[in-house]
Structure 1
Amino acid sequence: MQALVFWLVYPVLWIISILPFRIFYAVSDFVYFLVYYITGYRKKVVTENLKLVFPEKTDKELFLIRKKFYAHMCDMFLEMIKSLSISNKELKKRFVFTNPEEILRLQEKNKSIVLMCGHYASYEWMIALQLYGIKIKAYGIYKKIKNPYFNKLVKDIRGKFNGELIPTSKATMTITKHEKENRRGIYAMIADQSPKLARSKYWADFMDIKAPVFTGSEKLAREFNMAVIYLNVEKAARGHYVATLINITDAAKKEPPHKITRTYLDLLEKQIKRRPEFYLWTHKRWKHRNTPIPKGSKII
């Protein structure tokens, strides 16, 4: 059944991916109409999140943010499909890194790098980083897709741009192996999800709301004294993004505990508050906000 689903869907995805951008974004507009007006996908969750985070904004302001968010979300979903056929030249044109020399500097220092990302603007096309003469191999830490055929497709797309995906369940083991073998890597981690309550050992103010946070990126960086960079992505225009690599530290072990995680959250917050329509509001990020903080947990 999984193979049947894949082979029925894949030709449609491929056809969408090779469309000229003008028609491609017209398809995205149609998808937006279906998602926003017909199915109302997670509209209640998005509305609750926006009201929670921006209590000072009027209903009209929140309504406009919500509409812009859904339009952007559909663009980003379609852009993921575009990765099937996009050329290196086109990708580099549409996802521009302003300071790739930051990676080259750390490369000269023989440092592995934790690249901390958020669900903001676009994280699908950050694979363009490998097109800037970077010799260190890039890895994306991801949640494995249940359908093995789609899982392989996503891995193949990353492989086309010299990237590789590591399932979250194997991240620590794989990175440890690489470091023991003196193999340097750039490890991209999206670190703003909501951990399960049973694993919520650390809590922090995120968008002025107390919530559990993941600290795994900092833990790995500290264990192997990696450099840590925040990937600051801005949407410059439809289908065009500008990314800046913001150095958090060259040596994670030298930083006070939790400073890396707190700095990451502050940088992401700054982006969200400036242009909220580009954050992924469909996640139930603050679902544990009214839960008493478990005994033994730390507030960072």
Structure 2
Amino acid sequence: MHTLRSRLALWGWRSLANLIFWVLLKLWPYRRNLVLVNMARCFPTRSEKEIRQMVTAYFRHLADLVVEPFMIRKMPHGGLGRFVHYENTALIDRLIGEKKSIVLMASHYGSWEYLLSLPLQTACDVLAAYSPVSNKWLNAWLLKLRGRFGVTMIPKSEWYRRTLGWNAESSAIFVTIADQRPPESGKYYLDFMNRKTFIQSGAARIAVQRDCAVVYLDVTKTERNTYHFRFRLITAEARQLGEAGIMEHYYKALENTIERQPELWLWSHNRWKFHSRQGQKPVNALKLL
């Protein structure tokens, strides 16, 4: 009976996601032109047909992302293993055993909400930043939802100060979504996805200040609503590699991940907002509609 209920619930969530997909792509096109521009510029050798297919695949994935946090909200811890698989946890265990704290560099790729199950894989503290919402009830509900597996949620405005001041006597994992767009063009940029890209280096700065190990989270979507998380070491000694070296390694790894399954990245985010001021030729996305 329990298995039947689980299957019916999964069918219901996927049916809702199918409806959301149709709304986002057809009825109320959500930033579709931005998605087209981003993909066309980042994959200049892809054909118009391939870009169309990538856009459709992206909106299917985006619809799944909308329902997945709610889909797992009451799922028992044992049932989560059906949808989230971790690889190379031995790396995390070894670093923690060496009394190292870890800056885990994740991305707007796959399902970052699923990563909040990380405390089930380790005995050390796991911290993650969040952006509070203005509605107090909704904010409290989201915090409860995101913290149900044991993650310590910290407001984004306090993240840098509190991570630097976190207990230095015991190991911790600081989960960072490191591909954030900076609030303005800034001075740090690199070549990423065939484009000059301004970056935030806050995650690397924390790692260097605390001399953490830095680990990259590689993500694969193996089937619908199911993700494979693999830990890959960037450096065990952040101070030796430095901020610039860490960010360069991270964005190269992320580029390889995106090229493997492009539809899983957050293309509807205006990642290159500042580049329209730099004389970049516009892409005529309308002909792709």
State the TM-score, normalized to the length of structure 2: 0.90
Task: Give the match for residue 211 of structure 2.
Answer: 225
What displacement does 1:257 show?
4.1
Task: State which drifts further: 223-232 or 86-95.
Answer: 86-95
Out of 158, 174, 178, the residue aligned to residue 162 of structure 2 is 174
Structure 1's 113 and 213: CA in aligned 2 closer, same or farther, altered over 3 A?
same
Aligned to 1:74: 63
Task: Give matches, 1:35-74, under 5 Å.
Answer: 35-74=24-63
Alpha-carbon shift at residue 274 of structure 1 (Å) = 1.7
Cα distance in 2 for partners of 1:202, 1:18 equals 48
Moved more, 272-281 or 171-180: 171-180
Indicate the residue corresponding to 2:11 in structure 1.
22
Q: Is the counterpart of residue 144 in structure 1 residue 114 in structure 2?
A: no
Q: Which residue of 2 aligns with 1:109?
A: 98
Aligned-residue offset at 1:48 = 0.9
CA contact (8 A) 2:10 2:71 kept: no
Residue of structure 1 equivalent to 2:236: 250
Q: Is the contact between residue 195 and residue 214 of structure 1 (CA under 8 Å) also seen in structure 2?
A: yes
Distance 1:292 1:44, change over 3 A: closer
- Between 1:61-70 and 1:152-161, the stretch displaced more is 152-161
The Cα RMSD (Å) is 1.8
TM-score computed with the length of structure 1 as normaliser = 0.87
**1:190 is matched by which residue type in structure 2?**
I
- Provide the residue aligned with 2:264 in structure 1: 278
Match of 1:185 in 2: 172
Which residue of 83, 91, 96 corresponds with 1:94?
83
Q: Could you tell me which amino acid in structure 2 is paired with residue 193 of structure 1? A: Q
Letter paired with 1:127: L
Q: Work out whether residues 100 and 129 of structure 1, in 8 Å CA contact, stay in contact via their aligned partners in 2.
A: no
Q: Which amino acid aligns with 1:176?
A: L
Cα pair distance change 1:125/1:257, threshold 3 Å: closer
- Paired AA for residue 187 in structure 2: K
Number of equivalent positions: 274
CA–CA distance in 1 between the matches of 2:8 and 2:244?
A: 45
* Structure 1 unmatched runs, 5+: 1-16, 294-300
Identity %: 28
Tell me, yes or no, if structure 1 residue 196 matches structure 2 residue 208. no
Match of 1:118 in 2: 107
**1:154-206 Cα distance to aligned partner (Å, 9 max, x none):** 211232101121112101221122145x24321111111211226x1201111
Give the superposition deviation at 1:263. 0.6
How far apart are the structure 2 equivalents of 1:18 and 1:202? 48
Q: Which runs of 4+ in 1 moved over 4 A?
A: none
Instruction: Please say if residues 214 and 238 of structure 2, whose CA atoms lie closer than 8 Å, have aligned partners that are also in contact.
Output: yes
Q: By how many angstroms is 1:63 displaced?
A: 0.6
Specify the code of the residue in structure 1 equivalent to 2:65: M
Partners of 2:208 and 2:243 within 8 A in 1: no
Relative distance call for 1:138 and 1:257 in structure 2 (3 A) is closer
Assess if the C-alpha contact under 8 Å between 1:136 and 1:184 holds in 2.
yes
Alpha carbons of structure 1 residues 30 and 292: separation in structure 2 relative to 1, 3 Å? closer
How far residue 292 of structure 1 moved from its aligned partner, in angstroms, is 4.9
Q: How far apart, CA to CA, are the structure 1 residues paired with 2:184 and 2:120?
A: 39
